[in-house]
Amino acid sequence: MNSGREVILCKYGEIVLKGNNRKNFESMLIKELRRRASPHGTFKIYTNQSTIYVEPQDEFADIDGMYESAKKVFGIISVNRAIPCEKNMESIIETAKAYLPEKLFGKRTFKVDARRSDKRFPLTSPEISAALGGVILGAVKGIKVDVRHPEVTVTVEIRETKAYIRAGQESGAGGLPLRSAGRGLLLLSGGIDSPVAGCMMAKRGLEIEALHFESFPYTSERALEKVLTLAEEMCQFCSKIHVHIISLTKVQEALRDNCEEDYFTLLLRMFMMKLSERCALEYKCGALITGESLGQVASQTLSAIAVTDSAVNIPVLRPCIGLDKSEIVEQARHFGTFETSILPFEDCCTVFTPRHPKTQPKLEDVMAELAKVNFEELLEDAYATMRTETKLIFESYR
């Protein structure tokens, strides 16, 4: 047993875990935590009473690394480092005296929150709080009780087999377990918005598959490297992403040579959507995901969105649609993709950009322009250029 060694307690939201879903969700969370534990050493990971226990099994287990990783598991609402002890007041007090002074060092105020999931415990919650509060006041110099706005809350949980003491708590990644909602195909560019869109949908339970369009030699190898780096960074939250890469070089040259310049972007987007739909079908993705935000650029007006939507028969999820750029940036920092996103590389959307892009396009005009090229053949040839790279949170992740 590992009394005396810190453990991690992960809590998940209750509301979504009703009925049959609950067992499924729990096993998904446990599976994900077990996979993530492997580079950090040996941990025992199991669930009991709506809490997932992550217990290091020897002194080599890297609890700091595991803790950071657990904070990025979708479906977990809070992660807590706690110290287990026997379920009696004597042991709780001794353990608190040894464990808390370091955790509370430099703090000015605290309160104790006692929770009994084992109602047979002889003391009530207020009695436990009062006893432990006194112990802390004696053991931590200069600290005071503030029950309304404490700087830190010390929690004692009397659980099924043991008691657990912790100081403070941190938010988890929230959302729903990865893969619990199916799979989505993210149209991944090198910009700020699409990596955020992918992470936002992963947070709602989608496994993320990505598709990137390049236009070599108009776009460079380094532009592609940047996109692959973004996918790798997203893996901190998304764990594993296959990035499919399709070349649009021939498509763009055909558009340049045959169509009216004002329509270039829209026409290119028609190709992108159609190719994405096909890729989604092949890789069993139930939706496309883009980083579009209403009105951000000419191709993201309502009429432009209506035109691109008409190209496909699959739901297109646009989680950034109602966000301001500053809000998207905030999310990009949160998901850890911002710094890479702002590296200055070209995107296929930025080669052959029209000087006066259509902002209020009509579908029939777009279709008339599209009729000037051999749509089906170009589509077929472009799809044949597809190759795939796999990015993982760490090498041994399966």
Contact residues: ligand ATP, CB under 6 A: 187-189, 191-194, 211-213, 290-292, 296-297, 299, 347-349
Q: Which single residue is written with the structure tokens 């969105």? A: 305
- Contact of residue 291 among ligand ATP, Mg ion, none (CB under 5-8 Å per partner type): ligand ATP
Cis bond upstream, residue 126 (ω within 30): no
- Contact of residue 95 among Mg ion, ligand ATP, none (CB under 5-8 Å per partner type): none
Other beta carbons within 10 Å of 360: 9
| DSSP category for residue 42 | -
The least distance separating ligand ATP from the CB of residue 171, rounded to whole angstroms, comes to 26
Residue 69 or 301 having the CB closest to ligand ATP = 301
Strands 387-392 and 240-247: antiparallel
Distance CA 88, CA 159 (A): 12
Residue 214 or 369 having the CB closest to ligand ATP = 214
The least distance separating ligand ATP from the CB of residue 121, rounded to whole angstroms, comes to 53
Helix (H) or strand (E) holding 247: strand 240-247
Residue 348 or 370 having the CB closest to ligand ATP = 348
Classify the C-alpha dihedral 47-8-29-203 as positive or negative: positive
Cα 134 to Cα 88, 93, 172, 337: the distances in Å are 17, 10, 31, 46
The least distance separating Mg ion from the CB of residue 297, rounded to whole angstroms, comes to 8
- Contact of residue 194 among ligand ATP, Mg ion, none (CB under 5-8 Å per partner type): ligand ATP
Residue 297 or 371 having the CB closest to ligand ATP = 297
| DSSP category for residue 392 | E
Residue 129 or 340 having the CB closest to Mg ion = 340
The least distance separating Mg ion from the CB of residue 178, rounded to whole angstroms, comes to 25
Binding to Mg ion by residue 175, rule CB under 5 A? no
Which of residues 51, 95, 155, 189 is near Mg ion by CB under 5 A? 189
The least distance separating ligand ATP from the CB of residue 381, rounded to whole angstroms, comes to 17
Which of residues 175, 177, 184, 191 is near Mg ion by CB under 5 A? 191
> Residue 350, exposed/middle/buried by CB under 10 A (0-12, 13-18, 19+)?
middle
Letter string b/e over residues 311-327, b meaning 16 or more CB atoms within 10 A of that residue's CB: bbebebbbbbbebeeee
Residue 150 or 191 having the CB closest to ligand ATP = 191
Binding to Mg ion by CB under 5 A, coded x per residue (else -) over 365-384, reads: --------------------
